[in-house]
Amino acid sequence: MVSKKQKVRTVILVLLLAIAIVGGVFAISYYKGGVTFPWQVTAVTETKEEVAEEPQDEKLTVTVVEPEAKEETKKEAVTEEKPKDVKKVEETTEETPVEETPVEETTAATVDNKLDYYGQLHVEDGVLVDAEGETVQLTGVSSHGLSWYPEYVTADSIKALRDNWGINVIRLAMYTSDYNGYCVAGEEIQSVLKDNIDEAVTAATENDMYVIIDWHILNDGNPNEYKSQAIQFFGEIVRKYEDNENVIYEICNEPNGDTTWEDIKKYANEVIPVIRNVDEDALILVGTPSYSSDLDSVLEAPLDFDNIMYTYHFYAGTHKSSARNSLTNALDAGLPVFISEYGLVSADGDGTVDTKEAEKWIDILKEYNLSSCIWNLSNKAEGSALISADCDKTADFEYEELSEQGQYFFDLLQNNKSNTENKR
Residue type at position 94: E
**How far apart are alpha carbons 393 and 395 in whole angstroms?**
6
**How far apart are alpha carbons 217 and 286 in whole angstroms?**
12
176 Cβ contact list (under 8 Å, min separation 6) = 182, 183, 184, 215, 216, 217, 218, 220, 226, 229, 230
Q: Is 341 a catalytic residue?
A: yes
For residue 369, say if its preceding peptide bond is cis, omega within 30 degrees of 0. no
Q: Which of 53, 58, 100, 341 is catalytic?
A: 341
Q: Is 280 a catalytic residue?
A: no
CB-CB contact of 252 with 286 (8 Å)? yes
CA distances from 133 to 69, 119, 127, 287 (A): 93, 12, 9, 25
Segments of 261-364 assigned E as strands: 283-286, 308-315, 337-343
Total length of the chain: 424
**How far apart are alpha carbons 143 and 205 in whole angstroms?**
17
| SS3 category, 178 | coil
**How far apart are alpha carbons 257 and 266 in whole angstroms?**
17
- Cross-strand partners of 374: 141, 342
Q: DSSP secondary structure string, 216-277?
A: E-STT-SGGGGHHHHHHHHHHHHHHSTT-TTEEEE--S---TT--HHHHHHHHHHHHHHHHT
Q: Which of 250, 254, 357, 382 is catalytic?
A: 254
**How far apart are alpha carbons 297 and 275 in whole angstroms?**
24
| DSSP structure class, residue 99 | P
**How far apart are alpha carbons 54 and 48 in whole angstroms?**
10
Q: Which residues are catalytic?
A: 254, 341
